[in-house]
Each structure stands twice: as C-alpha cells, then as structure tokens.
Structure 1
Amino acid sequence: MENQNNIPDFKQKALRWANQFEVCCLLYSNQYKDQYSSYDFLIAADVQEELACKSGTAFDQLKDFQKSHKTWLFGLFNYELKNEIEDLDSNHPDYLNFPELYFFVPKYLIGIKNGLIDVLIGNDSIINEINQFIVSNDQKQAALKIQKRLSKDQYLGKIEALKNHILRGDIYEINFCQEFFAENAIIDPVQTFEALNRLSPTPFAGYFKIKSQYILSATPERFLCKRNNKLISQPIKGTAKRSNVLQEDENIKNQLKNDLKEQSENVMIVDLVRHDLTKSAVKGSVKVDELFGVYTFPQVHQMISTISCELNPDVHFIDAIRNAFPMGSMTGAPKLKAMELIEAYEETKRGMYSGSFGCISPDGDFDFNVVIRSILYNSANKYLSFQVGGAITYQCNAEKEYDECLLKASAILKVLG
C-alpha cells in the first residue's frame, strides 16, 4: 500500500500508461459510495494469459480458464452469448466484431481504495513508472458525422408494432434499442473516455481495450456481483431528466419515485431478476433489498432496485452469471420472447452493447456492469457506435420514449461534438 499526494493525477497517468499495451481494462467507481465494491479504481494492463471464444461452450471454457488461473481475471460477456444460453441466433450486421467472451490474466494490476495505492499484480516499481509517465493531450479530434440507424418515424412505427405484441400477450415489456454510429471515425479513445467520464461520472464506469477494439463506458448499472456467498443484482428501470433549478430537480426526483408507470416497469424487471437468481440460489434466500430506490447522476435520475440471494454451494459462480445473462433490464419479460422480438425489430447486432464487463477476484468474488451509456469503437475499420433504448410497455408513449433515448444519448453526443 502506498499513499499518493495527487490521486486524480495518478489515475489519469495510470490509464495513459495502461493504454500503451495491447490489452487493458479500467473499472472506476468515480467516488460513488458502494457497499459491495472492494476498490474505487482498478486498472489491469498487459496479458499473461487470455481466453477469447465464441458462443457454444464459452461459459464452460471460462470455468476451465478460471480453474487453472486462480488469480485476478478481467473480461467481458457479449450480448450474443444469448445464443449459447437459449435457442436463438443473430443475423444482423456487426461492424464492431468484439469477441463473444474474452478474459485475461493481467501482467500488472493496481487497485486504489480510500486514497491508498495497492499493487496487486506486478512490481511496486510500476508506481514510479506511472508517476513519470508523460501525459500529452495533443490529438485534435476530427468532427464526426453521427448517423441514426432509424429515423424517428421508423422508431415510432416499431414501438407501435411492439405494443401490438404486448396487446396480444406475447410479452409484458421489452427493452427496444436504436443505434447511433459514425463511419471513418478517428478518435483518441483515452481522451474521449476522459471527456465522457468528466461529463457523466458514474459508479460502474470503465475503459476496455482489446487491441483495436474499445469500450468507453459511463454506465450507472451493475449487472451482478458476488461477495462471499451472496449474489447482488441492481437493475435500473425508470429515468427522469435533471433540472438546474434545485427545487424543480427535487420535484422531478419525487415524481419519478411515485410514478406508477415507472414503478410497474421496474417491478416487472425485479420479478424477472428474482426468477433468474432463483436458478442459482439457496431455496428461499432470494430477497428484494431495495425497491424503487431513486439515485441521482449528472444527466438523469434513475430508479434502481436491489435483489440478492445466497449462492447455492452446488452452483458454480460462473453458472450463476450464465443463469442471469443477458440481464433482464436490457431484454424484457418474458425474457426469451423479448429477445426473439429484439432480434426481429432491431437493425444491428447488439454485440457488446447490453453485454457486460468486469472482474473476478482470486477467491471467486466478481463484479460486472451493464454496457449502456457506452461508446464502442473499432479503430481498425474506424467504426464507432453507441446505442440507447428504453422499456416499452403497453402504457408507454412512443414520442416520450424517443425523447428519453435522446436524453440518454445526450452526454455521448456532447462528448463526440
């Protein structure tokens, strides 16, 4: 453990230093208080061992990989792993081509908690190396031409069609998403992430680089974490915009807390998560720790619920992840039918969007986020993408859902100029 005088400066240098390697991952809580986080800031760099695989036997391969590497693992789960879990497929185009599952054992790992720096893997000398790293902000970003995959009219038409599925009883709720993208995009991923994180600091933010592929994430949502024998999931359903006027902002927050439509959306997903956790739980241990908690972020207020259970000792913790994936907040209910309709009505593969990244600790604890409010970038083919979506129920207003999508996209649009 080492005390550092200027922690923000060290964190900035640490990311720049890590980014010089082909693979690195940052997990950053932005000083949000969270009883389940073991570190405020974790940065993993360079590769000792790695696993990259497609859906089919990906979760089993991860089990074997973890069994032979009982150390820190950092990695991601792509939304397309749904095809391994259920009898589904995806025929939409994918311009980003992230691996479907990727994990690595880092050569270097640094954690920061309460202002103390801890070298978890590697030599203490890397602290000096990072402190001496020269940070340059000289790359000017060319203006990006952001395009929408759907016109507003197309979006509204699809929402009406999905409401007909709800009316027919196919589903109760679906998370429908649309893509914004830029071709021939040249960005500095680190500078872009820093700008996004300044504008929209969130508790599960992160940066993941795998060679030419980048996730720049300002996600506020936890998918699933394990602490000892306890599993915790914190789905978000319910969004309201912020106001600069203090009293008005407080009123908006109270309206969200008491909004019956938002509560009904939230409770459907809470039920779905309870169902997913039941597959991995000690019988009778699934409980809702908090229902309809309202939390404030720079752009939005969000309604977040917390569901937990005791992990059944007969269930491998990686099977517990599989049993809950993809997260209910990004699919809908019932989950399988919602995923079939997502495939039918969306225009591109989700890929890493609404997937997850995070880490597994040496003792088998883990923490994984939900990849939303995130820029996905492939520097090899210069394709940049981000998606936004919302929960569609029969009561929803398609115009308002469209406006909510733009609200969720606002921080990223601002950062990309």
Structure 2
Amino acid sequence: MMHPVRETRRPTASFAVGFFVREMTFETFHRLIETHRADGHAHLFVPVFRRVGADLLTPVSAFLRLRSMAPDAFLLESVEGGEKLGRYSFLGARPYLRVEVRGERVVLHHPDRSEKSATDFFTTMRQLLRRYHPVSVPELPRFTGGAVGYLGYDMVRQLEHLPSPPPDDLELPDARWNFYDTVVAFDHVRHQLVLMAGVFVEPDTELHAAYDEAVARLDMLSDMLAQASLEVPEPVALPAAPLTSNFSRNAFCEAVCRAKEYIYEGDIFQVVLSQRFAMPYTGDRFNLYRALRQVNPSPYLFYIDFGDLALIGSSPEVLVRVEHGRAEVLPIAGTRPRGRTPEEDQALEAELKADPKEQAEHLMLVDLGRNDLGRVCRFGTVQVDRFAFVVRYSHVMHLVSLVSGELASGYDALDALAACFPAGTVSGAPKVRAMEIIDELEPTRRGVYAGAVGYMDFSGNLDTCIAIRTMVVRNGTIYIQAGAGIVADSEPEREYEETVNKARALVEAMRVAASGLL
C-alpha cells in the first residue's frame, strides 16, 4: 500500500539540483515502523527519501561532486542491449562497513575499528544483510542500500577443492564489499534524483532523532550535488610503453595446444584460457570510466573506488540476478563483430546463428547454467525462457539465452551466487575440471577477472555481472584480462588474437581518456 508523502514544492538554491518534488514525512516514517513492529520485526531498515528534479545534472557530474567530499564512492549504470539507457543509475559514498576477504580470513572494517569474522564470507554476508528487516517503499528504486563490491575468481577455492593454485603475484583481496546506507538514484525516466538515507531501527531507537539524522544526511547530499563549481579531471598522456602480458604469444599458443589435449583425452569439453595485460597509468581513474561508457556502453557499467584499488568495467554478461526469490542467468557464447552497414550487420547475425560451432558451444553453456540453478531452485521451475537470441553492442554482437528458476525453500541469493560461481562462460565444462586445468596452464591467479561485480541488498535481492571487460587500477598500473573458449577444433593463433581483440575496447577507452576527448 502506498503511504502518503509530502507533496508540497519549495524553492532550492541549487542550479544543478532542481525543484523539490517530495519527501517522506516523519508521520509516514513512524507509521511504517509501527506497522512492521506489529508484524513482529524488531530490527528494521527504513529508507528515508527525497525526490528532486535533476534535468541539469548527469550521473557523471553528480559522481564528481560526490567523490570530492566523500571517500570510497561508486557509480553503477546500465545500457540495455548496448543501446538504451537503463532507468536508474546508482551512486553512493562513505560506506559504514567494509568486508574484505583474503584466503579464509574475513575482516570487517568499521570506521573506527577492524575485527575478524568468526564465519566464512557467505555466512558473514548473510548475517549482515539479514540482521535488519527492510521496509519496502513501493515508489523507490530496487536498490535502496546494501553492499556493493566484487568477488574475485579465486573465491572459488572456498567452494571447490583446487589443489594447485598458480602464484598470486598481485596479492589483491579475494573479495571486497562496501556497505552503504546512503544512496543516490538517478531516475532517467522522470529526470529526477532520489536521495535515500537508510535508518537502522532498533527496539530502543528514538524515532524523532533517527528521522532528523536521516534528513540531515539528505541535506548533506543535496549540498554536495548543488556545488556550483565542478572539478573536471585533466587527461594525462599514456606512456609510450606498449601493453605487457603475463603470457608470451608462443606460451599462450602452447597452453591452447595442451588444453586441446585434455579435450581429446575426454577430461573436458571446453576451457577458457585468459591472459592479463598491463600498462602504467598516472591519470585520474574516473576518466577511464568516462571514456569506457562512451566507447563500450554495456548492461553493466561500473566504477567502484576502494581507495587503493579501483574497478572500472563495461560487462555485457549477468553472472546471477535474484529478485523476489527468482534467480536468472544469461549465458553469452557466440560472437561476431558489428557490420559497417545495416545489411552487413544482418548478414553477420545470420552467419552467427548458422555457425554450428557457436551453436554447440552456446548450448553447452546454457545446459551448464541450468545445472547451476538446479542446485538451488525448486524442482521443475528451472527453464530456458529465451534461447540463442542476438544482442548487439557497440563493437560486437552475441548469442544470449535467459535461464531462470524459483529459489527452493531454505536457499537465498547468496546460495544462488555460490552455485553459479564462477560462470561457465569464463571457466569451462565440466566446470571443476576446467578450473583445475586453468590453474595448471595460466601463469598467475586471475584476481578480479572472471569473478563477480555488483550489489546485494537488505531485501534478499542481488544483481551481479561477470568481471569481464574490466580494468583493475592499482599502484599506477591498469590491468586488463581477456579469455578465449578453447574447444576441440580451436586454432591457437586465432584464440590468441581473440583475447587481444576482446581487450581492444578497453585499450581504446584508455587512449580516449588520455586524449582528452571526453
């Protein structure tokens, strides 16, 4: 049921943040809490919100204002099918908690202290996200607060026994998730900002004081976004040094040949081998994101700043999405470049759909997605909603399928994430044996690449993409990793070139950022 909110309009001194639309009143705040307490919920998360006009502001300019005054900021955007802007963009800064994982050690970093968790990552996250019952406000966007971060590929070692891990040369955290109780959403349909300040309500919380503190946070956000001046980062030229790789061309081709031997011997049907490129970079990291969103718009655009580490990505592929108890995966396998004319584009689509190798590989990964969901979904509910349809992006087109199922009793979004992790499209099939072969043939651990990036909320929902087409920026270096699916008839040189081509869009974004053409 929709609850009444204040509908009066009031002037604002802000040029960027437009007219006031409405705000949750204390009366509504109080009524929602009392209703949920009567239902037996003692610990609540209530998003106090304010809507304001924002036709003179963009997600990029808002982020630049936000990050100048608050640390550890994030920006999540979406371009559906590579061509249509998703309804909401989400921004946040100043997390109240960070969860960091290295091996089996899980540490909770609070603003004033750190403590080691007594449980594993998945149990820790489940406890943190379930502690408070979320109060739903129907008119708000799907994400009103929760955790934003990544699960590195090597987190699979907590889920499966992989006996021979390669060297961990970058020594990145296996996972990092920041918890945010204050979030800004861009509503691109209404051209409004939705400012949300979450309140954690305990049985003894003084409600007037809690509401006033939330409104003060909304005022702070409004002031940040209303700054008249905007400091736009200057471009910095890329060094003349070429990209370096953790594989030589010959070594990669030899790894492909060895992988094919495993296929001939019946160990696997497919395995994804990848190489990691690196280049020095001393410019503003956010310029890379600004360039990437222009060069390669995708369903999952993200910039997550952890201070010592930034993730910048334009992933096309869902890892797993859970909303209201329904889980979805969208395996992608099969690629062609975009045509230079509409006629050439259509011809390339027809060629992709008719290619038996692409179809066979796609079917294998759809079956793997069905099996993954079948581990946590109610029997008989897993289905292929759409099979092998073509989705176009700025540089390429892909074959995509949608597989979904209803979570079984006793399973939640974190179970679905664990069941589907890592995706078959970045590991292989059968998955565990493919990962053992990846450990043998790749020279270093993958780190963030082929893991998961996204958010989890207090309502039990989760939206994660596969960490591909992703830059990791750390200590003045950009790392880009790209892979190729190896099957029985793979040609080593062509697979090597595929990894180089997949990295090309990110390299192009780096050059755009350096050129100042933003």
Do the two structures share a fold, i.e. TM-score over 0.5? yes
Matched, 1:116 2:192: yes
Structure 2 Cα separation of the partners of residues 98 and 157 of structure 1: 28
CA contact (8 A) 1:74 1:359 kept: yes
Instruction: Verify the 8 A CA contact 2:146 2:181 in the aligned structure 1.
Output: no
For residue 266 of structure 2, the aligned residue among 169, 184, 208 is: 169
Percent identical among aligned pairs is: 24
Q: CA deviation at 1:408?
A: 1.0
The aligned residue for residue 76 of structure 1 is 150
Q: Which amino acid aligns with 1:415?
A: A
- Provide Cα deviations, 1:264-284, integer angstroms capped at 9, x if missing partner: 111111111111111110011
Note the alpha carbon deviations across 1:45-92, whole angstroms, 9 max, x for none.
111122112343211121122123555221221111110000125643
| 271-280 vs 359-368, greater mean Cα deviation | 359-368
Distance 1:167 1:341 in 2: 14
Q: Matches of 2:324 and 2:87 in 1, distance apart?
A: 16
What is the one-letter code of the residue matched to 2:89?
F
User: CA 1:55–1:38 in 2, change beyond 3 Å: closer, same or farther?
Assistant: farther
User: 1:137/1:80 Cα in 2 relative to 1: closer, same or farther (>3 Å)?
Assistant: same
Check 1:96–1:69 CA distance in 2 against 1; reply closer, same or farther (3 A cut): farther
- Of the candidates 417, 420, 433, which is equivalent to residue 321 of structure 1? 417
Contact 1:19-1:209 at 8 Å conserved across structures: no
Contact kept? 1:285, 1:309, Cα under 8 Å: yes
Residue in 1 aligned with 2:102? Answer: 54
Aligned partner of 2:464 in structure 1 is 368
Contact 2:249–2:496 (CA<8 Å) still a contact in 1? yes
Assess, with a 3 A threshold, how the Cα gap between structure 1 residues 160 and 321 changes in structure 2: closer, same or farther.
Answer: same
- Asked if residue 404 in structure 1 is aligned to residue 498 in structure 2, the reply is yes
Q: Residues 13-57 of structure 1, C-alpha deviation per residue, up to 9 Å, x if partnerless?
A: 12223434431222110355999x995211121111221123432
Give the deviation of 1:246 after TM superposition: 2.3
Structure 1 residue matching 2:450: 3-state secondary structure:
coil
Q: In the alignment, does 2:174 pair up with 1:100?
A: yes
**AA partner of residue 4 (structure 1):** A
Instruction: Give, in angstroms, the shift of residue 168 of structure 1.
Output: 0.2
Contact 2:335/2:352, CA 8 A, preserved across alignment: yes
Larger displacement relative to structure 2 (114-123 or 248-257): 114-123
Distance (whole Å) between structure 2 residues aligned to residue 128 and residue 244 of structure 1: 46
Moved more, 123-132 or 156-165: 123-132
Which protein shows a greater Rg? 2
The CA distance in 2 between the partners of 1:32 and 1:16, in whole Å, is 26
Picking from 350, 368, 388, the partner of 1:254 is 350
Contact 2:82/2:298, CA 8 A, preserved across alignment: no
Distance in 2, Cα, partners of 1:370 & 1:59: 18
Structure 1 unpaired stretches of 5+:
none
**TM-score of the superposed pair, with normalisation by structure 1:** 0.92
Tell me which of 77, 98, 106 is aligned to 1:28.
77
SS for the counterpart of 1:347 is coil
Shift of 1:341: 0.4
For residues 73 and 163 of structure 2, the distance between their equivalents in structure 1, rounded to whole angstroms, comes to 30
Which AA in structure 1 matches 2:493?
Answer: E
Change beyond 3 A, Cα 1:138–1:317: closer
Which secondary structure does the structure 2 equivalent of 1:285 belong to? coil
272-281 or 125-134: bigger deviation = 125-134
Change beyond 3 A, Cα 1:297–1:327: same
Contact 2:98-2:177 at 8 Å conserved across structures: yes
> Which is worse superposed, 108-117 or 319-328?
108-117
SS across alignment from 1:218: strand
**Distance across 2 between alignment mates of 1:225 and 1:176:** 25
Contact 1:216–1:375, Cα closer than 8 Å, also in 2: yes
1:385 aligns with 2:385: no
| Equivalent residues of 1:75, 1:358 under 8 A apart | yes
1:181 aligns with 2:282: no
Alignment of 1:341-360 (within 5 A): 341-360=437-456
Greater RCO (CA < 8 Å, at least 6 residues apart):
1
Q: What does residue range 217-256 of structure 1 map to in structure 2 within 5 Å?
A: 217-256=313-352
Number of corresponding residues:
411
Q: 1:144, 1:416 within 8 Å by CA — same for their partners in 2?
A: no
Check if 1:5 corresponds to 2:55: yes
Give the counterpart of 2:432 among 330, 333, 336: 336
